[in-house]
Amino acid sequence: MIAINDIHKTFNKGKANQVNAVNGISLHIAEEEFLVIVGSNGSGKTTLLNLVAGSVFPDTGSISIDENNVSKLPDYHRSQWIARVFQNPVSGTASDLSILDNFRLAAIRTKAKGLSIGINDKFKQQVKEKIATLGMGLENKVEQSMGTLSGGQRQALTLLMSVMDSCKVLLLDEPTAALDPRSAEVVMRTADKLITDFKLTAILITHNLKDAYNYGTRIMQMSEGLVLRDLNNKQKSDLKQNDLFDWFG
Ligand SMILES: Nc1ncnc2c1ncn2[C@@H]1O[C@H](COP(=O)(O)OP(=O)(O)OP(=O)(O)O)[C@@H](O)[C@H]1O
């Protein structure tokens, strides 16, 4: 699904503040794999995700998605495969518009799965049904503006909107970092369910070791722009939560 071949990214090359953010990483991420990436601050996690998303280009090395070499393709072209959810719940939605209008915009932008935007009542019903699957009671608030919702509610809706298009890959960059523990749990459970239901390939960056332990089918630790550890599903399920804390000991 995603093939990363000996990728390098250096910022401020040749200057005093040069940073070798990604130092030669090769990875193959299979279809429907859910890769969790952990690592200390500055270890290159977000840069790697940016390289996959196309918001940063590699200096050398290549990235393919579904056999297509996308190394030089900007992020807006990669959005045919990739959806991305960021830390800040506000970044994925329009605050002044209603939930319904946010879904309408998303549907227009992406020809979202299972939504026909032609007839208003039908569209509204479809959106309500999709939102009901989140189990948050938001299906009765579709006329309410997005800005009136909590961060957790917004992040869950952002997730739903982003996976309803034809994307195959979901990138989650610390999606719960700005949320309280209860909302964070709801959002992680929602993400996990959507990844399974929509058969997505997913990459999650998190500093929350409990989430890293509980979610995903593979776990990788980065350090200084390199892969320090990479455990498959079996190895991950053999891990104990304390082992993960020891990685950072
Ligand atoms: N656009 C940029 N320009 C200059 N340096 C950058 C840029 N983006 C990232 N870096 C540097 O590259 C290194 C890796 O950063 P990155 O954000 O990938 O790490 P991270 O593992 O995601 O960290 P964190 O856990 O703190 O989010 C850091 O030293 C960072 O300062």
User: Which CATH number covers residue 128?
Assistant: 3.40.50.300
Greatest mean pLDDT range, 102-106, 140-144, 176-180: 140-144
Average pLDDT, the chain: 91
In this prediction, residue 108 has a pLDDT band, given cuts at 50, 70 and 90, of confident
Query: Measured from the CB, is residue 208 less than 6 Å from ligand 1?
Result: no
**Number of folded domains that form the chain:** 1
Give residue 92's pLDDT: 75
| pLDDT 10s digits, 205-248 | 999 999 999 999 999 999 999 999 999 999 999 999 899 999 99
User: What are the distances in angstroms from CA 235 to CA 31, 203, 216, 238, 243?
Assistant: 19, 18, 12, 5, 12
Prediction pTM value:
0.92
**Burial environment of residue 62 by CB neighbours within 10 A (0 to 12, 13 to 18, 19 or more):** middle
ipTM score above 0.90:
yes
Q: What would the two tokens of residue 43 be?
A: 């270890």
Atom 12 in ligand 1: residue holding the nearest Cα: 21
pLDDT beyond 90 at 117: no
Region 16-29: what's the mean pLDDT?
97
Query: Measured from the CB, is residue 221 less than 6 Å from ligand 1?
Result: no
Relative to the CA of 205, which ligand 1 atom is closest? 22
Determine the distance separating the centroid of ligand 1 and the alpha carbon of 147, expressed in angstroms: 30
Q: Which residue from 51, 39, 63, 19 is spatially nearest to 174, judged by alpha carbons?
A: 39
Determine the distance separating the centroid of ligand 1 and the alpha carbon of 41, expressed in angstroms: 8
Query: Measured from the CB, is residue 225 less than 6 Å from ligand 1?
Result: no
Task: Look up residue 208 and give its DSSP letter.
Answer: -
Going by C-beta distance under 8 Å and a sequence separation of 6 or more, which residues neighbour residue 134? Answer: 156, 157, 160, 190
Pocket test of ligand 1: the residue of 15, 47, 56 to mutate, having most ligand atoms within 8 Å of its CB, is 47
Give residue 111's pLDDT: 59
Atom 30 in ligand 1: residue holding the nearest Cα: 42
Region 89-109: what's the mean pLDDT?
84
Q: Tell me the three state secondary structure of residue 144.
A: coil
pLDDT beyond 70 at 105: yes
Query: Measured from the CB, is residue 58 less than 6 Å from ligand 1?
Result: no
Query: Measured from the CB, is residue 110 less than 6 Å from ligand 1?
Result: no
pLDDT beyond 60 at 38: yes
Q: What would the two tokens of residue 197 be?
A: 């239901």
pLDDT beyond 90 at 182: no
In this prediction, residue 110 has a pLDDT band, given cuts at 50, 70 and 90, of low
In this prediction, residue 163 has a pLDDT band, given cuts at 50, 70 and 90, of confident
Atom 2 in ligand 1: residue holding the nearest Cα: 11
pLDDT beyond 60 at 33: yes
- Domain membership of residue 176 as a residue range: 2-247
Relative to the CA of 174, which ligand 1 atom is closest? 27
Give residue 123's pLDDT: 84
Tally of CB atoms within 10 A around 14? 6
pLDDT beyond 70 at 109: no
Give the range among 110-114, 132-136, 168-172, 213-217 with minimum mean pLDDT. 110-114
Query: Measured from the CB, is residue 126 less than 6 Å from ligand 1?
Result: no
Atom 8 in ligand 1: residue holding the nearest Cα: 47
pLDDT beyond 80 at 118: no
pLDDT beyond 90 at 91: no
Query: Measured from the CB, is residue 23 less than 6 Å from ligand 1?
Result: no
